[in-house]
A and B are shown apart, each in its own frame.
Chain A
Amino acid sequence: MATDNKTADTDQLQEFRDNRDLKLQDKKNENLTTLNLGPTHPATHGIFQNILQMDGEVIMDAVPTIGYIHRAFEKIAERRPFYQITPLTDRMNYCSSPINNMGYHMTVEKLLGIEIPKRAQYIRVIMMELARISDHLICNSILGVDSGAFTGFLYVMQEREHIYDIYEEVCGARLTTNMGRIGGMERDLSPKALHLIGEFLKRFPKVWAEFEKMLTRNRIFIDRTVGVGAISAERALNYGFTGPNLRATGVDYDVRVMNPYSSYDDFEFEIPVGEKGDTYDRFLVRNEEVWQSLKIIEQAYKNLPEGSYHADAPHYYLPPKQEVYTSMEALIYHFKIVMGEIDAPKGEVYHSVEGGNGELGFYLISDGGRTPYRLHFRRPCFIYYQAYTEMIKGGQLADAILTLSSLNVIAGELDA
C-alpha cells in the first residue's frame, strides 16, 4: 500500500539514511566493541534495545531502539467509544494503572463539562496515591536489586500485594485495573476496602522505614549510585523531563501543585527535590514521595466526605444494574451507553495528571461523534528516555543498568 506523500519524502529519507550509515562507518574505524544490550535482557526490565559502542568497560555511544511492544493505542482509540478506551490506558504505565485511568476519565469529564462530587474526588486521590506508592516502591526496590541488594525488593513486594488487594476490593482487578468510570467511581468504597486502607496505613510506614534504613546510608549502595547518570536541571528541562526525575535535578515542578486536579489543593504535602540529578537523588526523591503520598492518603482517608461516589450525569455514567431492570430511563441510558450511541460534544481539551513518572497528558479532540477524533497521550517515559544516551555516555556498563532502572522506564508507556 503506497502512501500519498511517499514520493515526496523518499529522497529526503534516503539522504537521512545515507548520513546515518556514514556515521556508523566512522565508528567502525575506531577500535571499539559493539555490545547489544537488550531487547530482552533481564536487567532492562522491559523490552528495549541499546546498541552500545564500548571502549573496554566505558560506553562511548549508544543507539536506543524502541517500539518492541507498540500496540497502536492512539489509532485504536479513534475507533472506540469513550468508555472503552480506559482499558487501553491501563496498559501504558502498568505499575500505576489507576493514575492512567483517572487521568483519562478526568480528560473526558473536562470535555463533557461534568462536575465530580467531593467524595469521588477523594476516593480517586486515595487510589492514585496508592498507585504512586506501588510505582515508586517497584522502582526503588528494583534499583536495589540491580545494585546487588535483593532483600529489600522481597520485603516491599509483599506490600505491593496488599495494595493490589485494595485495588481488587475497589474494582475487581489487580494489575490492569480499569478503575473508575467517566463521571466518578463504579462503586463506593466498601467497608472492607476502608478496612484494608486503614490497615495499610498502619503497617506500611514501618516497612518503608526499614527499606530506607537498608539502602539510604548503605555504603555499597551509595558508592554505586552517587554521581551515576547525572543530568543538569537545564538539560533535563530541555529534554522534557517531568516527575521525580526532573525533581531530582532540583526543579520543583509537580502537576498536583501547579495545576491541581481532583481536589489536590485540599491536602497538605511537600514536593521533595534533589540537587544533582543523579541516580542517588532520584532514589531519595522517590523515597520521600512515598512518605508524602502516605500523608495525602491519611488526610483523604480521615476527611472522606459524605455524598455520592459519582456525578449525576445519566448520559455518560452507567446506571446501577437493579435500576436497569426496573426503570425505563435507566434501561435506555444503559443501552445507549453500552452500544456507544452517546455522542460527545465537539471540543478540544488537554488534561494532565502527575503520573508515576511525570506529567501524563491526554490531548483529546472530539468532532462530536461517538469516538475521539484524535487522542494523543503525552507519555513521560517516551519523552525522557531519549536523554538516556547522553546520561550513560562516558560511564561504565554496570552504571548504565542502574541509570536505566532509576529512570523507571516502563516499556508499556514508552511504546504505547
Chain B
Amino acid sequence: MELTNENVLGKLIAQFGEENIRDAYNPDGIMTFTTNRENIIALIQYLYDDKDLQVQFLTTMAGIHFPDHKGMEMCMMYQLHSLRHNYRLRIKVFVPAEDPVLPTLTGIYATANWMEREAYDFYGFIFTGHPNLIRILNIEEMEYHPMLKQYPLEDQTREDKIDTYFGR
C-alpha cells in the first residue's frame, strides 16, 4: 500500500473513529491531526505494529502552550516517522492547563524518556507511568515551568538586576 495522507487518515479513522482522529490538516506536507489523551498510546502502538504503516521512529516531541485556547491550553506534539516508507506524520493532543496529564510513551519508545522529561521541565506536563519524571535541563529547585507563555523572557525573581542599570 502506498502511503499517502488520505489513505493513512482513512485507515486511522476506520480503526479509531472520527471523533478520535479529528482536525486533520496538512501545513507543510506532514499530515497533522488531533486525538485524545485516552487514545494516544493505543494509536501510537497501532501505528507501530501495523504491517502496512510501520511507523517505528519517534522523531521528536514538543510541548506548545496556547493560553487563548480556554480549557485546552496545553498541546503536546508527537512527530513520528516510518523509515520504511519515508512517511512522516504529526499527532497533537490538547489537555487543560489545570490537568496537564498524559500517559507516558516510554513503553513503546525508549527515546521518549528524556523528551517527556523535557516537556515536564519546560511546560509542566505530567506523564503517568514515566520511570523518572524529574527536571532535565533546569535546576531542580525551580518552581515554575519556564516555557509557559505567562513568563516573560527575563527572570522576574532575580534581585541582582536593578532597573537603573538597564535604563528603566
Which residues of chain B are near A238, meaning CB under 8 Å? 109-111
CB atoms of B109 and A350 under 8 A apart: no
CB atoms of A374 and B62 under 8 A apart: yes
B-contact 0/1 string along A355-383, CB 8 Å cutoff? 00001010101000000001010100011
Within 8 A of A (CB), among B89-145: 90, 97-101, 109-111, 113-115, 118, 122, 124, 126, 128, 130, 132-139, 143-145
Pick from B32, B111, B133: contact of A348, CB under 8 Å = B32
Given contacts A239-B111, A361-B59, A386-B110, is CB(A5)–CB(B30) below 8 Å?
A: no
Which residues of chain A are near B27, meaning CB under 8 Å? 347-349
Interface segment, one of A72-80, A194-202, A319-327: A72-80
- For the complex, is A17 an interface residue (Cβ under 8 Å from B)? yes
Which residues of chain A are near B153, meaning CB under 8 Å? 75-76, 78-79
Which residues of chain A are near B163, meaning CB under 8 Å? none
Q: Give chain B nearest CB distance to A382 CB in angstroms.
A: 7
CB atoms of A75 and B147 under 8 A apart: yes
- For the complex, is A415 an interface residue (Cβ under 8 Å from B)? yes
Pick from A12, A67, A76, A79: contact of B137, CB under 8 Å = A67
List the 10 closest A-B pairs by CB distance, nearest first.
A240-B111, A67-B137, A376-B62, A348-B27, A378-B60, A349-B28, A3-B144, A70-B137, A386-B114, A238-B110
Interface segment, one of A124-132, A251-259, A304-312, A395-403: A251-259
Q: Give chain B nearest CB distance to A73 CB in angstroms.
A: 11
Determine the distance from Cα of A239 to Cα of B153 in the docked complex, in whole angstroms. Answer: 32
CB atoms of A6 and B143 under 8 A apart: yes
CB atoms of A235 and B138 under 8 A apart: no
Given contacts A5-B100, A74-B147, A239-B111, is CB(A16)–CB(B133) below 8 Å?
A: yes
CB atoms of B110 and A235 under 8 A apart: yes
Pick from A3, A239, A347: contact of B124, CB under 8 Å = A3
Given contacts A5-B100, A237-B83, A240-B111, is CB(A17)–CB(B138) below 8 Å?
A: no
Which residues of chain A are near B118, meaning CB under 8 Å? 382
- Report B's interface with A, CB cutoff 8 A: 27-28, 30, 32, 56-60, 62, 64, 77, 79, 83, 86, 88, 90, 97-101, 109-111, 113-115, 118, 122, 124, 126, 128, 130, 132-139, 143-148, 150-151, 153, 156-157
- For the complex, is A22 an interface residue (Cβ under 8 Å from B)? no
Residue of A nearest to B135 (CB): A67
Determine the distance from Cα of A66 to Cα of B153 in the docked complex, in whole angstroms. Answer: 22
Which residues of chain A are near B111, meaning CB under 8 Å? 238-240, 383-384, 386
Q: Give chain B nearest CB distance to A283 CB in angstroms.
A: 24
- For the complex, is A13 an interface residue (Cβ under 8 Å from B)? yes
Residue of A nearest to B156 (CB): A1
Given contacts A5-B100, A238-B109, A253-B83, is CB(A17)–CB(B124) below 8 Å?
A: no
B-contact 0/1 string along A1-32, CB 8 Å cutoff? 11111101100110011001000000000000
Which residues of chain A are near B56, meaning CB under 8 Å? 237
Residue of B nearest to A76 (CB): B153
Given contacts A8-B126, A72-B146, is CB(A363)–CB(B60) below 8 Å?
A: yes
Cross-chain pair count, CB within 8 angstroms:
127
Which residues of chain B are near A110, meaning CB under 8 Å? 28
Within 8 A of B (CB), among A44-78: 66-67, 70, 72, 74-76, 78
Which residues of chain B are near A352, meaning CB under 8 Å? 59
Determine the distance from Cα of A16 to Cα of B127 in the docked complex, in whole angstroms. Answer: 11
Determine the distance from Cα of A259 to Cα of B82 in the docked complex, in whole angstroms. Answer: 13
CB atoms of B59 and A20 under 8 A apart: no
- For the complex, is A387 an interface residue (Cβ under 8 Å from B)? yes
CB atoms of A9 and B124 under 8 A apart: yes
Pick from B88, B90, B98, B139: contact of A4, CB under 8 Å = B98
Q: Give chain B nearest CB distance to A213 CB in angstroms.
A: 35
Determine the distance from Cα of A361 to Cα of B115 in the docked complex, in whole angstroms. Answer: 14
Pick from B28, B100, B132: contact of A347, CB under 8 Å = B28
B-contact 0/1 string along A393-416, CB 8 Å cutoff? 000000000000000000000011
Q: Give chain A nearest CB distance to B37 CB in angstroms.
A: 15
Residue of B nearest to A385 (CB): B114
Which residues of chain A are near B126, meaning CB under 8 Å? 8-9, 12
Q: Give chain B nearest CB distance to A367 CB in angstroms.
A: 9
Residue of B nearest to A17 (CB): B134
Determine the distance from Cα of A402 to Cα of B4 in the docked complex, in whole angstroms. Answer: 43
Which residues of chain B are near A415, meaning CB under 8 Å? 137
Given contacts A374-B64, A415-B137, is CB(A240)–CB(B57) below 8 Å?
A: yes
Residue of B nearest to A374 (CB): B64
Given contacts A1-B157, A16-B132, A16-B134, is CB(A259)–CB(B86) below 8 Å?
A: yes
Q: Give chain B nearest CB distance to A309 CB in angstroms.
A: 26
Which residues of chain A are near B133, meaning CB under 8 Å? 12-13, 16
Determine the distance from Cα of A75 to Cα of B154 in the docked complex, in whole angstroms. Answer: 10
